[in-house]
Amino acid sequence: MVNKVLITGGAGFIGGNFIHLITRKYPNYKIYNLDSLTYAGELEKHKVLEKNENYKFVKGDITDKNFVFNLFKEEQFNYIVHFAAESHVDRSIDNPEIFVKTNVLGTQNLLDASRCIKIDKFIHVSTDEVYGELPMDPTEFFTEETELKPNSPYSASKAASDLLVRSYYQTFGLPINITRCSNNYGPFHFPEKLIPLTISRVINDLKIPIYGDGRNIRDWLHVVDHCRAIDLVLHKGVDGEVYNIGGHNEQSNLDVVKTIIKSLNSSEELIDFVKDRLGHDKRYAIDPSKIKKLGWEPVYSFEEGISETIEWYLNNKSWWTPLLTR
């Protein structure tokens, strides 16, 4: 029997990288990439997979209940790995409604359809932002037991979907796991996000906007390490459990920008401090002890990962340049 794996949001950054990992690692799996191709979704990254017999793209919207149910009944998936989400905090401040619709109601449709076909595992990919913010004390970290205190419409919508997924395990016995990751970076990152935005701006000698004083701290995780962790949870995660995924690579936004500027031999005069984002969390940091007990360790240090990422963007201008117009 061939395992059928549905990846939602596979035209995006993390979902796209996960598809590359899983199609290589499990050639006997049938991989379905479900994506509605919003502004941040693109299929160019999957051109090399189009001739693979174990890969198939399906265009569709997870908020369309009839479409989701018909797809699930037709294909009878074994595993669901749910990446699809509206994820940009600034956009959630401008238009919270679409975040609730996609992140909450879309997730409900997938859960209900999964119940109907009795799937083997439902992985819900979430974010450390659902925990709110940490104090600047370097000894404090998010754990799986940390209270959910989201501070933006984006993180609130993700927290709501997390709780919905949990309830389907508690009420219906649906075999689920929830993963919560720190900030990802790496190849195919949409250029509105901090690291690819900074790289593109430095390359084009443009000002780099930084919110507030730039001292907000994030725990940076290379997307390949994140995808390896999700793969592990998919196959070895204990049903009903939450797993935090972080790299212990804490960097302030300002330090990240300065690192990129230095690597590209540019000037810090490009830095432009702008009015701070509403509800801007000061610090995120994850304790990944639980997932390490499953056998996961990050491969990338931040220094190695950011160097490789900068090199990737230098060598792939034809991919990201057209996206800037979006």
Of 12, 115, 125, nearest to 72 by C-alpha is: 115
Question: Which 8-state DSSP code applies to residue 204?
Answer: T
Among all chains, which residue has been given the structure tokens 């950011």? Answer: 306
For the question of residue 154 being annotated catalytic, the response is: yes
- Where does residue 238 rank: exposed (0-12), middle (13-18), buried (19+ CB within 10 A)? exposed
For the question of residue 128 being annotated catalytic, the response is: yes
The residue from 35, 61, 86, 129 that is catalytic is 129
* 149 vs 2: CA distance, rounded Å: 41
For the question of residue 29 being annotated catalytic, the response is: no
The residue from 32, 79, 131, 154 that is catalytic is 154
Kindly tell me the number of DSSP H helices and DSSP E strands found in the chain.
12, 12
* 107 vs 158: CA distance, rounded Å: 10
**Strands annotated E in 191-308:** 208-211, 217-222, 242-245, 250-252, 271-274
The residue from 35, 42, 61, 128 that is catalytic is 128
Q: Which residues are catalytic?
A: 128-129, 154
